[in-house]
């Protein structure tokens, strides 16, 4: 049996952890809101241990999987009498599925290395559906031997599992992917708002664009399903996409890449986040454009 600790049972984390709640894995879980961990253990069936702290979860585990909102949350988890570092075992490793930032991940990796613990950043993509089906894409950064060692655990929830480069590379690729999503969302919002005001049906425009060179996952899926329908379901918070674009913009700056489009998109999402609040879905960023333009894209 492979002993695994899973910390962070959110919308993505919980269905990921479920795949580890059965042999050959032996699972301990921890969540900041303890009730969520108990509910998870109850529904996951026998054999899931609810740990009372990060340290407690990590004790005896060969693998510690983290799935938290931000790298800062991971950082906060490490220290203190009941922090992760107090319980984690020399020779074990951390698989950090948080959509983190490369610089913080590198710092965390170095702190763990100093006490003989391995680390890879391993953010995922694919949404709750992918987490449930175990078909997530996992973007990893770090040492190749650690990546190989973590493979059996990641296969439980992932399908496309890729080593992108040195520590932080998984975070960087995830951030750039999400930044492109953000760029596509905002640019299509501007374009479709203009067409709608010009008397063109946005559904028809999307139909044409999706058959042409301007198409993207955003115009194929998000606009028809969520904007035109005025549904705007809340599946992925704008606050988190704002964070991700910010990380991608930071990767560009650190690498001295002049990047006006990414930086501007980052500011637009910062403004939208401020205007729409913490609970808004990422697609609702389009509402800011609609409000500015005085039109609904429908």
**What are the catalytic residues?**
174
Q: Which positions from 272 through 291 interact with its own copies, judged by CB under 8 A? A: 274-275, 289, 291
Which is nearest to 90 in space by CA: 122, 119, 120, 118?
Answer: 118
* Complex with its own copies: residue 5 or 205, whichever CB lies closer: 205
SS3 for 201? coil
Applying CB under 8 A, the span of 8-16, 28-36, 90-98, 215-223 interacting with its own copies comes to 215-223
Binds its own copies by CB under 8 A, chosen from 150, 193, 227, 276: 193
Specify the pairing of strand 2-7 against strand 118-121: unpaired
129 binding its own copies? (CB under 8 A):
no
| β-pair type (2-7, 63-66) | parallel
Instruction: Specify the DSSP element, H or E, that contains 244.
Output: helix 238-254
What does the alpha-carbon distance between residue 287 and residue 247 come to, in Å, rounded to a whole number? 23
Minimum separation from the CB atom of position 99 to its own copies (A):
12
In this structure, what is the dihedral angle of CA atoms 106, 110, 111, 116, given to the nearest 10 degrees?
Answer: 140
The Cα–Cα gap between 125 and 86 comes to 30
Binding pattern to its own copies, positions 59-98, x when CB under 8 A? ----------------------------------------
Q: Give whichever of 31 and 98 is closer to its own copies, judged by the CB atom.
A: 98
∠ CA 255-260-261, rounded to 5°: 110
**Is residue 183 helix, strand or coil?**
helix
Establish whether the linkage from the previous residue to 154 is cis, with ω within 30° of 0. Answer: no
Structure tokens given for 56: 């407690």
Q: How far is the CB of 55 from its own copies (least distance, A)?
A: 28
100 binds its own copies (CB under 8 A): no
Mask 132-171, x = binds its own copies (CB under 8 A)? -----x-x--------------------x-x-xxx-xx--
| Residue 202: CB minimum distance to its own copies, A | 10
Q: Is 172 in the site for its own copies (CB under 8 A)?
A: yes
By CB under 8 A, is residue 252 in contact with its own copies? yes
CA distances (Å), origin 203, targets 214, 215, 222, 286: 15, 13, 12, 15
Least CB distance to its own copies at residue 69 (A): 16
**Size of interface with its own copies, in residues (CB under 8 A):** 80
231 binds its own copies (CB under 8 A): no
Nearer to its own copies, 116 or 279 (CB): 279
The correct pick among 74, 248, 283, 285 for binding its own copies (CB under 8 A) is: 248
CB nearer to its own copies: pick between 82 and 190: 190
Q: Are 53 and 27 contacting, i.e. CB atoms less than 8 angstroms apart?
A: no
């Amino acid at each position: 049996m492979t002993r695994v600790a899973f910390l962070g049972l959110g919308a993505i984390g919980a269905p990921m952890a479920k795949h580890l709640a059965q042999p050959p894995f032996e699972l301990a879980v921890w969540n900041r809101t303890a009730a969520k961990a108990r509910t998870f253990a109850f529904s996951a069936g026998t054999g899931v241990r609810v740990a009372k702290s990060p340290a407690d979860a990590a004790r005896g585990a060969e693998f510690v999987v983290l799935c938290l909102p931000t790298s800062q949350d991971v950082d906060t988890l490490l220290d203190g009498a009941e922090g992760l570092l107090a319980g984690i075992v020399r020779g074990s490793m951390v698989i950090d599925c948080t959509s983190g930032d490369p610089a913080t991940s590198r710092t965390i990796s170095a702190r763990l290395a100093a006490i003989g613990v391995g680390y890879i950043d391993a953010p995922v993509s694919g949404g709750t559906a992918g987490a449930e089906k175990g078909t997530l894409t996992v973007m990893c950064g770090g040492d190749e031997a650690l990546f190989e060692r973590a493979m059996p655990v990641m296969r439980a929830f992932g399908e496309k599992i890729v080593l992108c480069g040195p520590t932080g590379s998984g975070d960087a690729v995830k951030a750039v992917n999400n930044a492109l999503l953000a760029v596509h969302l905002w640019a299509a919002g501007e374009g479709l708002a203009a067409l709608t005001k010009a008397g063109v049906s946005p559904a028809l425009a999307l139909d044409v664009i999706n058959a042409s060179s301007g198409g993207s996952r955003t115009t194929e899926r998000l606009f028809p399903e969520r904007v035109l329908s005025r549904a705007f379901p809340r599946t992925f918070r704008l606050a988190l996409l704002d964070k991700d674009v910010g990380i991608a913009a930071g990767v560009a700056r650190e690498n001295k890449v002049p990047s006006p489009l990414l930086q501007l998109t980052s500011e637009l999402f910062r403004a939208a986040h401020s205007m729409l609040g913490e609970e808004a879905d990422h697609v609702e960023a389009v509402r800011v454009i609609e409000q500015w333009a005085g039109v609904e894209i429908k």
